[in-house]
Structure 1
């Protein structure tokens, strides 16, 4: 059923537990983890661009309980494999402490990407949390993405988890988003009239020599090039399973709302590209702890107001899937504990932040008693 199914791709860094530096041992860790978790059909583990990164992919899920179980299983397998190699698994958007540039993963496509983008991808160890929601066809996927455009900056603000860049506090809540902005076609996607328009414009970027292939777009949401899904890539890597589940619940609800709007003949708002860029920048700069930009009204508002607007926008769809209580719990956790970025800074140093992230990345290791001290506004 369109809008009913979902899945999550989580990207992680491998780090040395002593000094917190990223470690290029992804081939060994992936070999130990095996190809697929035994109890999650369709799930698996994959390499990323650099050998310090690994990815866990869930199978197709219809409920948040199953999604949480698969996220736990994926993290557990990778964390165990990393420990067997003397390393630890960390979920953060960018490397926290200073580290040398790691080698690229072997393979023809990765080699083309490294050659095309040169210094932009040297040491580009950015990690995100990608949510897929099933739709009927590509035409529907493109139309849904149009409806998602105003909400992508708010999904980023909820997920910010990369304040450090190799030992330096960047002043941003999501430095990952600033690193990603260096690529052509990054940020909120343009408004597309239909799937043919989308495909023509992607192919134009490939022909212009700025994308390695049509699957290389950097937009924060897109029709998946491989699956019958809408793929939303706004979020930083989620420090905890709970935060990954929150992203999935809100993303699915946004897709379901978009499908209802399309069925009712309501066209997506033509929000201005530059205002969207301003909203993404503000979300990356402040997360939930400052101002945001409303892309529809084109005004500066508290980030907490944008979160409240998002929940109001999708509340009937959260109720329909039984996810409203889960979302309220996740937002309450963020209010009390702060975003991933706020927690990293509160650790006191980059080295202490790595130690905290090792604990939070491990499934079930983060006690609710530790969820204190947020400056985020109420929703």
Structure 2
């Protein structure tokens, strides 16, 4: 059924646990991680643009419990492989410690991207959490993306987990969004009439020489280039498994709301591109700690209110999949503990880069939101 299945792609940085510096060891780590059969059908580990990065993907999941199991298993296997090389994976949107620009991963496509984007992509160690929701076909995917557009900045604010960039505090909650903004085909996607219109837009960027190929867009939501899914790439790399699951259940609910609107013959609102850009910038700058922008009403409001609006918008769809309690519990912990960006800054005040690195390792590998707390414990807290 359309809008039911989900899967997640998680990007990680490989770091030296002592210094926190990224290490270009992905080929060796990935070879170790892939020696055994997949931990779930369709799951696996893949290279990213730079050799300091590694990706873990889940298979197709029917619900949050299955997704959580696969995410934990993927992180555990990647951590085991990294540890064999004296390294650790950390889930953060950008590198915390100062480090030189790493080499690119070998391969024809990566080489084309490096040559095309030159200095813009040098050192681009940005990591995200990508959510895939199954839909019937490409036409449906494009129509759903139109409905998602006003809500993508809220997903960014909830996931903000990249305040530092190579040894400096950027002043942003999600510096990853600023890194992505340097590329053509980034940010909130444009409204498209249909799949052909969407493909024409992408084709023009490729023809103009701004993209290496049609799969290179950095838009925060798109029809997947190779799967029958809507792919939402708004979130920074999720610090904990539960934060990745939260992004997945909220994204699935947004897709289901969009499908219901389409079934009722209601077209997506054509929110202004520049207002969407302002909303995205505000989400990246402040996360949940400051103001946000409502792209539909075109007003500045507290980011926390936009989260409430999002839950109200998708509540019936969270209820019908049984995900409402899951989402509310995760949001309660997020409000109490703060976003990943807030937690990184709190750790830095107590011990600088080493403290941030230690916290990120714990959150990534052990699943801790804060010292002594384990991923999955929120599900039983009411």
TM-score over 0.5 (shorter chain): yes
Residue number in structure 1 paired with 2:86:
86
Q: Is the contact between residue 21 and residue 99 of structure 1 (CA under 8 Å) also seen in structure 2?
A: yes
| Correspondence 1:124 to 2:124 | yes
Distance 2:36 2:211 in 1: 30
Q: How many residues align?
A: 371
1:350 aligned to 2:343?
Answer: no
Matched with 2:44 is 44
- Cα RMSD, aligned residues only: 1.2
Relative to 1, partners in 2 of residues 1:366 and 1:304: Cα closer, same or farther, differing over 3 Å? closer
Task: Quote how far apart the aligned CAs of 1:18 are.
Answer: 1.0
Q: How far 1:191 sits from its partner (Å)?
A: 0.3
Unaligned runs of 5+ in 1: 372-379
Q: Distance in 2 between matches of 1:321 and 1:284?
A: 30
SS in structure 2 of the partner of residue 362 of structure 1: helix
Quick check: 1:360 aligned with 2:372?
Answer: no
Tell me how far apart the structure 2 counterparts of residues 287 and 37 of structure 1 sit (CA, whole Å).
39
Aligned 8 A contact 1:249 1:323 in 2: yes
Aligned equivalents of 1:180 and 1:26: distance in 2?
22
Q: CA deviation at 1:33?
A: 0.4
From the superposition, tell whether residues 58 and 2 of structure 1 become closer, same or farther in structure 2 (CA, over 3 Å).
Answer: same
Contact 1:160–1:173, Cα closer than 8 Å, also in 2: yes
Q: Runs of at least 4 residues of structure 1 off by over 4 A?
A: 365-371
Alpha-carbon deviation of 1:267? 0.7
* Residue 143 (str. 1) matches residue 143 (str. 2): yes
TM-score under structure 1 length normalisation: 0.96
Q: CA deviation at 1:364?
A: 3.8
Task: State the match for 1:338 in structure 2.
Answer: 338
Instruction: Tell me the distance in 2 between the aligned counterparts of 1:40 and 1:120.
Output: 36
Partner of 2:62, secondary structure, is: coil
Matched, 1:104 2:81: no
1:367–1:98 Cα change, 3 Å: closer
Q: 1:37 to 1:150 in 2, by over 3 A?
A: farther
- 1:190-244 CA-to-partner distances (Å, cap 9, x unmatched) read 0000000001111011000000000001100000001000000000000000000
Alignment check: 8 A CA contact 1:14 1:26 kept: yes
Cα 1:60–1:36 change in 2 (3 A) is farther
